[in-house]
Amino acid sequence: MDKNNNKNPRRNFIKNTGLGMGGVILAPSLLSFTEQESVNIARDNKKLGIALVGLGRYSTNQLAPALEKTKNCRLSGIVTGSPSKEKAWKKKYKLPDSNIYNYENFDEIAGNEDIDIVYVVLPISMHKEFTIRAAKAKKHVICEKPMALNAEEAQQMVKACKDNGVLLAIGYRLHFEPFNQRVMELGQQEVFGKVKSIKAVDNSNMTGGSLDLWRLDKERAGGGPLMDLGIYCVQAAIYTMGKPPVAVRAKFGEVTHPAYFRDVEQSITWEMEFDEGVVANCEASYADEEEKNSLSGKAEDGWWKLEPAYSYEGKKGETSNGKMEFPNIYEQVKQMDAQAESFRNNQNPKTPGEMGLRDMKILMAIYNSAKKEGTRVEITY
């Protein structure tokens, strides 16, 4: 049985590190946010209203049901370009007409006091536009991962939120999940000594189905499995180490399904180099029939592994001391409750826009290296 016998008790680790930042120090401008002019939400027990922007599978199957279980927030509005979805959601969730918007009249949300937070759940190419529009409407924002098409867009999103005095969080749900939180402890607290190596894999299978998926369109998705799945591996390596990498090396995989992967990569492998010589070996694919995902680490005196590591449910973990015994939780409930509480108190969320910006710089460096067939690319933050 895996015992939480690290140098500091688990509760102190959670308190002292906040877990969500993975040990990465925030920029001074973010730390001083509460001293700046900001949108204030009354500190009472009122559930904050969330408007979901984009009603695809993730909103339908994960976020909306989660909002029926949250304590700090509730579904109060929707934004959709589909009249049929508008009608169905209005009936199912008993939403008033005044809280239903489309992409054209979205800016009118500024005058709606029933909506405190806008959750952007759209194709990546639309993240920047609706994050900035939400910020100008003086609404706090949760934006799904990956944050943007590139680092430049991410920087504009961070700036827009700061300029308008609202907070921005990224939908990194695994920062609120016990198995991945345990890995944060194992790595950052050096429970088994210093980390020696990390391996992170996230593969799915996009072949055999429709060719008309937005995730296969570079203009809308920004890229292929690196953007969609590889972000989990990037995040996992960083929150294991508690710091970002200094350089990367990457290579694109062979294209064996050209009908599907005309525009985005089919697969990609990469190394994330940390200081002190630690390397994380990572891979992401859209053409893996096994569709497996995992996160493992080796340290001086032990090891750990999660498999699956990033799925919505069914996570399993073990260490050199035995099995990890944690419940599988409804991660989106924990995520949104924590982010809503941060917004309520005008406190920096565990997964802020700056974290998303950092990760976009890493993703772009990985693509840059792969285009140069594995050339080492240093990263400046």
Q: From CA 207, how far away is CA 125, in angstroms rounded?
A: 23
By the 8 A CB rule, do 95 and 89 touch?
yes
- DSSP, residue by residue, 98-158: GGEE-TTTGGGGGG-TT--EEEE-S-GGGHHHHHHHHHHTT-EEEEPSS--SSHHHHHHHH
Mean pLDDT by 10 residues, the chain (381 residues): 46 40 36 40 74 98 98 98 97 98 98 98 98 98 98 98 98 98 98 98 96 96 98 98 98 98 98 96 97 97 98 97 98 98 97 98 98 98 97
pLDDT, tens only, 324-358: 999 999 999 999 999 999 999 999 999 999 999 99
What structural domains and CATH numbers belong to the chain? 32-173 (3.40.50.720), 178-328 (3.30.360.10)
By the 8 A CB rule, do 192 and 303 touch?
yes
The pLDDT of residue 131 is 99
pLDDT, tens only, 17-44: 443 333 443 333 333 333 334 454 544 5
The pLDDT of residue 29 is 33
Measure the N-to-C terminal CA separation of the chain; round to a whole number of Å.
Answer: 39
The pLDDT of residue 272 is 98
Question: Whose CA is closest to 148, among 131, 130, 128?
Answer: 128
Please give the model's pTM, rounded to 2 decimal places. 0.90
Question: Whose CA is closest to 209, among 121, 146, 287?
Answer: 287
The pLDDT of residue 30 is 35
